[in-house]
């Protein structure tokens, strides 16, 4: 295993690329919250942000531009500046010797790059060659309950419909929902800029570009990434991904078929025992996971667990996760924790 060599007692040097963005800002927060052993933090963003700064542990950290030599001495670089940037910058970051934990889609399906959810496949992190990928936010929230269900009854088919928050589209998505909501309340015209259509008081059944088969890029990611993480290359997955006017947290309605029947009682048990997953399933008390209740937490929350009325070996459930935290920054920092010398 290639791990980070620096003695952790003194801390390590960490870079955050995309530090001004929604996921980058959350990464700074999580590094602080989890007391990640940071000796030095370097923050990177686009040319536009050079001259600005971000806050880490109360210190103002100046934004740097990504350039040759800027990562010398960096042990781990968290990248959340988008796929094109990840592809462009990875060789330069690697040349300076840093291990990359990338949040984008750039390397996820590369067979040499581990796609890691630490509660599920921590061992994969040992097989890296300098780059580790963090799955798509919707994949992470969906796979958290699927893994214990698979261990209990072997998954054969998954139907997943997502309800995805605007912060999944970054700071522009957050600004657009806020601006459109305010404009609507004032009776002003609502004009889309970042999303293809109005997002306030609307649902957009398109995230990412359409593929020739009619599925979107986001739906394709869910299929491919679930198969890779669960090591089930033949798993049948039917995805629909939808952008909703919610600021934070992705929710997914899942129908999961298994080879062996898993009862509702058994599912509740295996969900409850799985690290990083919490059960909120008390219909009589109207208690179930919702974005506003889950926001700010690292666990994913599962509820509405029911037998499928149309199939005797399938369950329906509802899972919600803060996609900026477990769906992005927390998962990335957990991956980095696996790289620290023990």
Among 29, 32, 33, 46, binds ligand A2P (CB under 6 A): 46
Stretch that binds ligand A2P, among 38-46, 120-128, 202-210, 285-293 (CB under 6 A): 38-46
**Residue pair 200/173 in contact by the 8 Å Cβ criterion:** no
**β-strands 76-79, 277-279: how paired?**
unpaired
The secondary element (H helix, E strand) that includes residue 157 is: strand 155-164
170 belongs to the binding site for ligand A2P (CB under 6 A) = yes
327 belongs to the binding site for ligand A2P (CB under 6 A) = no
Distance from C-alpha of 37 to C-alpha of 83, rounded to nearest angstrom: 27
Distance from C-alpha of 79 to C-alpha of 174, rounded to nearest angstrom: 20
**Residue pair 42/62 in contact by the 8 Å Cβ criterion:** no
148 belongs to the binding site for ligand A2P (CB under 6 A) = no
Among 26, 27, 49, 139, binds ligand A2P (CB under 6 A): 49
**H helix count then E strand count, the chain:** 8, 13
Shortest separation between residue 67's beta carbon and ligand A2P, angstroms: 10
Stretch that binds ligand A2P, among 32-40, 136-144, 170-178, 218-226 (CB under 6 A): 170-178
Stretch that binds ligand A2P, among 27-35, 77-85, 228-236, 262-270 (CB under 6 A): 77-85
Indicate the residue among 174 and 335 with the shorter CB distance to ligand A2P: 174
Map residue 92 onto helix, strand or coil. helix
168 belongs to the binding site for ligand A2P (CB under 6 A) = no
Interface positions, 83-112, toward ligand A2P (CB under 6 A): 85
Stretch that binds ligand A2P, among 42-50, 96-104, 149-157, 294-302 (CB under 6 A): 42-50
Shortest separation between residue 304's beta carbon and ligand A2P, angstroms: 30
Shortest separation between residue 184's beta carbon and ligand A2P, angstroms: 23
Longest Cα separation, the chain: 60
Sign, CA torsion 100/103/105/108: positive
Which single residue brings its beta carbon nearest to ligand A2P? 21
| Cβ-proximal residues to 341 (8 Å cutoff; 6+ apart), any chain | 3, 4, 5, 7, 8
Residue/partner pairs of 110-114 with CB below 8 Å, 24 or more apart: none
Among 40, 67, 127, 172, binds ligand A2P (CB under 6 A): 172
- Tell me, yes or no, if 137 is annotated catalytic: yes
């Amino acid at each position: 295993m290639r791990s980070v060599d620096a003695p952790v007692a003194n801390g390590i040097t960490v870079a955050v690329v995309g530090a001004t963005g929604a996921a980058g800002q959350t990464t700074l927060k999580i590094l602080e919250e989890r007391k990640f052993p940071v000796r030095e933090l370097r923050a990177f963003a686009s040319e536009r942000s050079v001259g600005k700064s971000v806050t880490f542990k109360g210190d103002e950290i100046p934004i740097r531009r990504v350039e040759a030599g800027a990562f010398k001495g960096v042990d781990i670089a968290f990248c959340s500046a988008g796929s094109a940037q990840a592809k462009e910058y990875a060789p330069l970051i690697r040349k300076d010797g840093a291990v990359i934990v990338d949040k984008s889609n750039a390397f996820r399906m590369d067979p040499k790059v581990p796609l890691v959810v630490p509660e599920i496949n921590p061992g994969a992190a040992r097989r890296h060659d300098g780059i580790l990928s963090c799955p798509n936010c919707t994949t992470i929230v969906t796979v958290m309950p699927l893994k214990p269900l698979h261990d209990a009854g072997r998954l054969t088919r998954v139907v997943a419909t997502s309800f995805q928050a605007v912060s999944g589209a970054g700071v522009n998505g957050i600004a657009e929902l806020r601006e459109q909501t305010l404009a609507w309340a004032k009776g002003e015209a609502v004009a889309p800029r970042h999303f293809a259509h109005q997002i306030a008081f609307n649902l957009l059944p398109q995230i990412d570009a359409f593929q020739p088969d009619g599925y979107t890029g986001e739906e394709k990611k869910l299929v491919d990434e679930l198969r890779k993480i669960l090591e089930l290359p033949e798993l049948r997955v039917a995805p629909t991904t939808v952008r909703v006017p919610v600021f934070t947290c992705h929710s997914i309605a899942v129908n999961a078929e298994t080879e062996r029947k898993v009862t509702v009682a058994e599912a509740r048990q295996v969900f409850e025992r799985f690290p990083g997953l919490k059960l909120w399933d008390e219909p009589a008390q109207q208690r179930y996971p919702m974005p506003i209740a889950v926001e700010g937490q690292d666990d994913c929350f599962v509820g509405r667990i029911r037998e499928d009325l149309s199939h005797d070996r399938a369950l329906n459930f509802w899972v919600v996760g803060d996609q900026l935290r477990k769906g992005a920054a927390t998962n990335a920092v957990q991956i980095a924790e696996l790289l620290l010398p023990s």
